[in-house]
Amino acid sequence: MWGGRFAQGPAAVMREINASLPFDKRLWRQDIAGSIAHARMLGAQGILSAADAEVIIGGLEAVAAEYEAGDLPEDLDLEDIHMATETRLAEKIGPVAGRLHTARSRNDQVATDFRLWVRDAMDEVLGALRTLQRALVARAGEHTDAVMPGFTHLQSAQPVTLGHHLMAYYEMVERDCSRFADARARMNRSPLGSAALAGTGFPIDRHMTAQALGFDGPTDNSLDSVSDRDFALDYLMAAGQCALHLSRLAEEFVIWASQPFGFISLPDAYSTGSSIMPQKRNPDAAELVRGHAGRIIGCMTSLCITMKGLPLAYSKDMQDDKPPVFEAHDLLGLAITAMTGMVETTTFRTDRMRALAQSGFATATDLADWLVREGNVPFREAHHITGRTVKAAEEAGVGLAELPLETLRAIDERIDERVYAVLTVDASVASRRSHGGTAPEQVRARIAQAQAALDGDVAP
């Protein structure tokens, strides 16, 4: 490729460290698409003859057919997928293949190919996340009235419904979708035609190639175009935050599947056994989703460190931009698919959830609120009274609803028999009617909105 300048070939280690073909061959579809768009534009602009442009396009389509059949190159001497494709094109159509690289550089070529790949990756993730949301909405709809403990600090706090709990993850995933969608819109500009760093003297039409490749238009600064990897960082940052959410849900499934909780029974398809303990049923799929989050965040950190000190424009360090993105995308896809399967097929033991929701004095706040409403007691005083009531119930070994009225009145004479109506978990849940609350009517309304959004009836 640069034999006119160099008299000797590279050292063996240089050949190995310099080659990116083992990983960037994943870009072959985008590389072919970009090259076809470039060749067609060169022909339209008269930079190439129409005949040469058609021969090149036909040759590229033939190379693509070989790649599709699995005949991808492995020769490190070819360095990357761009040179591999150009070399194979020359073998098929002869010297006219050398005209394809007119008015472009590998710098803008790889920037374009990588953007196209990341854009496709974002579309793939968005589709997978919508499938996960549909699973969450469906299971939440089955359990809008199922009472379970709500936790803070992993301590019993207030009763909630399982539907409300699952819909919390719908909201997290909705924010993930918005981050990927925002990043996709921001990155959808074409660097093709920026050449090495300064643009080109040929009369190219960058708007034509941008349109052909589905971009909103060309980028506006050639230096920035070839050196920008914000789109890859945006993908990784969105992927990292998405992985955090998946990890939190996975952690809940791990905890809920344990015998002390017993909230769920995971299906065989997402569980493993032990080589020594025949009774074991391990939530390995959930644990791996949790573990993958660390690797995805590591990929994000890797590219941040690579990019942090690079001057304009292109530096060879940027060849290391693709492995972390590829790895993160593969891991995220696995995690979303596994988590979706678990949500769809897990058995929720709502009887066990209800039993534990009734423990831990989870309706204590309801007693305090009742004192405020019915006894005109300032909340801080009501909080203190309720604390004494909880202590009395704890010493008696009963729940708040089982305390005799005389015991309650001995603590505060403003308490009367009406208080028992608010001390059940069902009453507690039903009372949380504020917007976004856990009351079944509120949960059903949000599920309906979410389902309509997923069906495309309204904006998410």
Which residue numbers are catalytic? Answer: 153, 274
Task: Retrieve residue 69's tokens.
Answer: 């059949």
CA distance 427 to 421: 7
Question: How big is the chain, counted in residues?
Answer: 460
Beta bridge partners of 265: 347
Tokens matching residue 298: 């590591």
Check: CB of residue 440 under 8 Å from CB of residue 161.
yes
Closest CA to 338 of 244, 271, 238: 271
d(C-alpha 244, C-alpha 126), whole Å: 16
CA–CA dist 226, 312 (Å, integer):
9
Give me the residues paired with residue 148 across strands.
160
CB 116 within 8 A of CB 124: no
Tokens 């389902």 belong to 451
Task: Mark 137-150 as b/e (b = at least 16 C-beta within 10 Å).
Answer: bebbbebbebbbbb
Q: Which residues contact 332 (CB under 8 A, 6 or more apart)?
A: 125, 239, 242, 243, 292, 296
Which two three-digit tokens encode residue 297? 């965040």
Contact at 8 Å (CB) between 333 and 125?
A: yes
Q: How many CB atoms lie within 10 A of CB 5?
A: 6
What is the rounded distance in angstroms from the CA atom of residue 94 to the CA atom of residue 88? 10
Alpha helices by DSSP H, 69-190: 81-93, 106-142, 162-187
Backbone region of residue 228 per phi and psi (left: phi > 0; alpha: psi in -120 to 50; beta: other values) = beta
Cα separation of 154 and 176, whole Å? 25
Q: Are 25 and 326 in contact (CB under 8 A)?
A: no
Nearest partner of 208 among 41, 54, 35, 57, judged by Cα: 41
